[in-house]
Structure 1
Amino acid sequence: MKKFIRKWLTILIPLFIGIGIIYYQFTTLTSDEIDKIKVSFQKANYYYILLSLVFAFIGFWSRAYRWKFALNHLGYQTHFYNNFYTVCVSYLVNLTVPRSGEITRAALLKKYENVPFDKAFGTIVAERIVDFAIFLIFVFVGFISQFDTLYQFLLTKNVSIKSILIAAICGVILFVLFVLIWIYAEWKIILKLKKKLSGLIEGMTTIFKMENKWKYIFHSFFIWFTYLMMFYVAIFALPETAEMSFDIVVMGFIFGSLAVGFSNGGLGAYPFSIALIFGLYGISNDVGTAFGWLAWTSQTIFTIILGIISYVFLPILNRK
């Protein structure tokens, strides 16, 4: 019963958060702004939206291709189409429960390629660690280049830099303590966890030992390049955002990426964060909201379609 309740809470809580953000966003818009948003959808150049989805597809392909290097290092020669289709299905599942797609991806690879779940999942965790490190580079560059704008925004919200630094330092200290305890502690519970997670750890450490680690790293950066281009190309769909400078694009990309984790696939949170960050640079709320919903809707529909197609083709292509 507890497992059933926990399962539904992981689905419903992010969903309610997304719905709540949508409600808040549209109740704060005037009727004139809502009309302008409708007009933006009508006059948008959907050629650029389709082009952004091409970059999304390339990113999916690159993620599936990168995965083979880690799997090959563990001694598993998987079919590329299985790697690709499981990646697509994982993106689809992530729309329901955030981050649940990684579990689905490892489970599907076990089913169709007989790769042990813990080892497959370990390679996926390693991917997420690398992806997070690259994303931090974006955050660092973006925040340094836009420090004055963000600082003025924080001042208007009565948030001091000192409080942010204290929180960041505390977080770093706790992380370092955890790593030290994990490496050096001889506690029974730690040793027991290490034994159970041995396959997971093996998968996570493949990047440091694999022969093709530089190809792996190249694809890791290339994946984020396609994500950035997916966002950048989309700005040309609306005339009001077409002349936007690249530094604004990077900040919008950063905050949009962060928003995806707040609700199911960024429902509500993604358009709201885009409108918020664009507003810091003088872009009207209706334009920012319209762009956010245009980008989020197109990406979500694309993910759903590609995920369903992949889920259908997996058993067909793996018939014995």
Structure 2
Amino acid sequence: MKRKLTRILKIGIPLFLGVFLVWYSLGNSSPEERQRLWESIVEAKTFWIAVSFILGTLSHLSRAHRWKYMLEPMGYQSSLPNRFMAVMAAYLANFGIPRSGEVLRAVTMSTYEEVPFEKGFGTIISERVADLLILMLIIGGVILLQTDELLLYLDQQNINPFYTFLFAIGIVACILLGISIVRRSSWLPFRKIREIAKGLLEGMKSILRMEQKWAFIFHTILIWTLYVLMFYVIKLSLPETSDTAFNIIMAGFVVGSFAVSATNGGIGVYPLAVGGILIFFGVEKNGAEAFGWISWATQTAVVLLFGGLSFILLPLLNNKK
């Protein structure tokens, strides 16, 4: 009963938060503002939305292709279609339970490509580390381009960067303490955790044993370049944002990257966060909010289409397995 309640809360709370934010935002808008927002979305240029859709699809294909460079050093061969469907099914799963997709992705490869779960999951963690490094570089670049404006924004929101830094250090210290306890303890559950961690570590170390490191680096850069382009071309679909500077769009991209993990697939939070940061930098309100909704809808459409097809096709195309 307790486990079932926990699962319901994990799904329900982020979903409720997203729906509430949408309701709250629209509820605080006048009928005229809601009408203008809807008109901006409907009148957006479909060509650039289609371009964004294609770029998003290519980024996921590149991610699926990159994965093989981490699996091959451990001796596992896998097909691109199965890797792509595992990636897309994982993204779709995150709409139900946030962060559950990584587990499903490793389970999928274990089921259809005989990659042990721990090792497959370890490679996924390694991917996330590489992606995090790129995201940190992008954030650093945005901060350098928008230092004065961002400090002003934090001040207006009563956010003290120093306290945030101290909080982050505290979290890291707690994690290190927990790792130390697990490593030294002889308690059976902790021994099982160490066994699982050993398999995860082997998967993570695959990045160091890759023969095609440069190919891996190329696809990592390509993935994030496509992410940025997928987001950027949306500005060309709206007259209100067509002249918006690149550095402002990148500020929206960074905010959106964090917002997408706050609720199931970024429902509610993503379009409001992206729209809010664009408004802060001077973009007209309806255009900024329309940009956020169109960007979120395009990314979601990619996941819904290919993720849904993946759930159907995976067992059909691998029926012998």
Q: TM-score, normalising length from structure 1?
A: 0.93
Describe the superposition over 1:23-69 as per-residue Cα deviations: whole angstroms up to 9, x where unpaired: 22111212221111111022100110110111111111000001111
Amino acid at match of 2:137: I
Aligned position for 2:150: 150
Shift of 1:171: 4.4
Shift of 1:302: 2.3
- What SS does the corresponding residue of 2:75 show, helix, strand or coil? coil
Shift of 1:192: 4.9
Q: Equivalences for 1:4-23 in 2 at 5 Å?
A: 4-23=4-23
Aligned-partner Cα distance in 2 for 1:146–1:176? 33
Q: Equivalences for 1:1-320 in 2 at 5 Å?
A: 1-171=1-171, 173-174=173-174, 181=180, 186-188=184-186, 192-320=192-320
Describe the superposition over 1:198-229 as per-residue Cα deviations: whole angstroms up to 9, x where unpaired: 11111111101221222112211211111111
Shift of 1:319: 3.0
Shift of 1:296: 1.0
Shift of 1:187: 3.4
Aligned-partner Cα distance in 2 for 1:178–1:111? 32
Aligned-partner Cα distance in 2 for 1:240–1:77? 48
Shift of 1:188: 2.9
Distance 1:8 1:199, change over 3 A: same
Q: Which runs of 5+ in 2 are unaligned?
A: none
Shift of 1:246: 0.6
Amino acid at match of 2:283: I
Shift of 1:2: 2.1
Number of residue pairs aligned between Structure 1 and Structure 2: 318
Aligned-partner Cα distance in 2 for 1:96–1:249? 29
Aligned-partner Cα distance in 1 for 2:68–2:85? 13
Distance 1:166 1:315, change over 3 A: closer
- What SS does the corresponding residue of 2:208 show, helix, strand or coil? helix
Aligned-partner Cα distance in 2 for 1:206–1:150? 38
Aligned-partner Cα distance in 1 for 2:74–2:166? 41
Aligned-partner Cα distance in 1 for 2:295–2:181? 41
Distance 1:148 1:175, change over 3 A: farther
Aligned-partner Cα distance in 2 for 1:173–1:144? 28
Aligned-partner Cα distance in 2 for 1:293–1:35? 14
Distance 1:161 1:86, change over 3 A: closer
Counterpart contact for 2:262–2:269, Cα < 8 Å: yes
Shift of 1:178: 6.0
Counterpart contact for 2:110–2:117, Cα < 8 Å: yes
Shift of 1:144: 2.4
Q: TM-score, normalising length from structure 2?
A: 0.93
CA RMSD of the aligned region, Å?
A: 1.9
Aligned-partner Cα distance in 1 for 2:267–2:171? 28
